[in-house]
Amino acid sequence: MKALNLYDIEDLRYEEDTPIPQIIREEDILIQVQSAGICGSDLSRYKKLGPYVPGTTFGHEFSGVVAAMGSAVTQWKEGDRIAACPTFACGNCIYCRQGFPTRCTDLTVIGAKQPGAYAEYVVLPASHALPLPDEIDFDTASLLEPSSVVLHGFYRTSIQPGAAVAIMGVGSIGLLSVQWAKIFGSATIFAIDIDENKLKIAKQLGADILINPLKEDTETVIKKHTASSGVDLAVESAGSPLTSEQVLALPKKGGEVLYLGIPYGDITLHRYYFERIVRNELRILGAWNALSAPFPGKEWTTGLYYMKTGQLDVKPMISHHLPLEKGPEIFQQLIHKEIDAVKVLFHP
């Protein structure tokens, strides 16, 4: 089958002779991939690697159609349209037993040590699949995983209707954060980015106030619109060392900071920002992945619900539709910032 396989740092190969994955366990299903998205974590792994098996099929955000089932699978039939959770928790460690699968000591995702979704077919346990309502197309469903990641983070916060929320970095995770903030009832949403195109999309998706830090001071603008107090919740979704520090200056006293991005670089925390944590009694939260108990979690079913109603609209975020053979080229263009892209989808 056609697939994109990762062999080494920046060595992603399009190959047409990759074996179709086989159903080995009776509870597995074979899925024909319809849409698969490039995640920011894919770009990070492409540039620096991490735990992986050379030649493994890449990718984990996807939707598709059930193509075959193991002998024990009764809840699915051939042709069923599905979204899928690509993440595995062991179920046995102390965190899994406590009901916190995202903290699993052996958390894994397809596309690293086991074949991923940048291919014509992928195998997963039947329990990882979620049925797609007729109202949700494959492109939308392929973004259920990143949507669930954001929602998992929001569930960790204390956000209430009427809140002021700042989203620092409006790539795909930030744009999803804008929409979840709106769904949670936020009264004022600040979108912060140096990319004017992404800011325009953020406005389209519900952001109230756009801030380009290259043109105006972020803190000044936020204080102007919050009676000089700051926001209730500041979300760091840019994943850069600079914004990981700057976001600490945005919440009001007693406010919260939610980190959804990882900078993959050392962060210098200047005294001014550290004092914001202490003197303003901030609550600092990290959020990882998208699982909760019972598996895969309410993040997934809630995401599907709001995709069905149209309140979670990912279509404006999708900038590119590509065949798999364009994979090596587009990854190079993305890491070298040669194209203006938000969410890139492959269609195997």
Q: How does residue 48 score in pLDDT terms, banded at 50, 70 and 90?
A: confident
Handedness of CA 191, 260, 264, 343 (dihedral sign): negative
CATH number of 88's domain? 3.90.180.10
Cis peptide before 125 (omega within 30 of 0): no
Q: Which two tokens stand for residue 60?
A: 């984990």
The residue assigned the tokens 């001014």 is 272
Let me know the angle formed at the C-alpha of 272 by 271 and 276, rounded to the nearest 5 degrees: 110
164: domain CATH number is 3.40.50.720
- The answer to whether residue 305 sits within a structural domain is no
Q: Indicate the pTM of the whole model.
A: 0.96
| 318-331 average pLDDT score | 98
Residues 244 and 167 in one domain: yes
Domain hosting 160: range is 148-286
Mean pLDDT of the chain: 97
What's the mean pLDDT in 328-335?
Answer: 97
Q: How far is CA 217 from the centre of its chain?
A: 28
Phi and psi (nearest 5°) for 41?
-70, -30
With a pLDDT cut of 90, the percent of the chain lying above it is: 94
Domain membership flag for residue 99: yes
Residue 14 near residue 325 (C-beta atoms within 8 A): yes
- Give the dihedral sign, CA 97/101/104/108: positive
Tell me, what's the pLDDT at 8? 93
124 and 154 together in one domain: no
DSSP label at residue 227: T
The answer to whether residue 309 sits within a structural domain is no
Are 136 and 187 in a shared domain?
no
Phi, psi of 206 (to 5 degrees): 125, -5
Round to whole Å and give the CA distance between 17 and 31.
18
Centre a 10 Å sphere on the Cβ of residue 87 and count the other Cβ atoms it contains.
23
The tally of domains found in the chain comes to 2
DSSP characters over 319-332:
EEEE-GGGHHHHHH
Residue 252 and residue 179 share a domain: yes
Average pLDDT over residues 320-324: 98
Q: Do 36 and 162 sit in the same domain of this protein?
A: no
CA-to-CA dists, residue 192 to 13, 89, 211, 269, 319, angstroms: 35, 34, 5, 20, 20
Residue 306 placed within a domain: no
Stretch 138-165: mean pLDDT, rounded? 98
Q: Would 291 be classed as within a structural domain?
A: no
| Over residues 234-254, mean pLDDT | 97
* pLDDT at 187 (0 to 100): 98
Does some domain include residue 301?
A: no
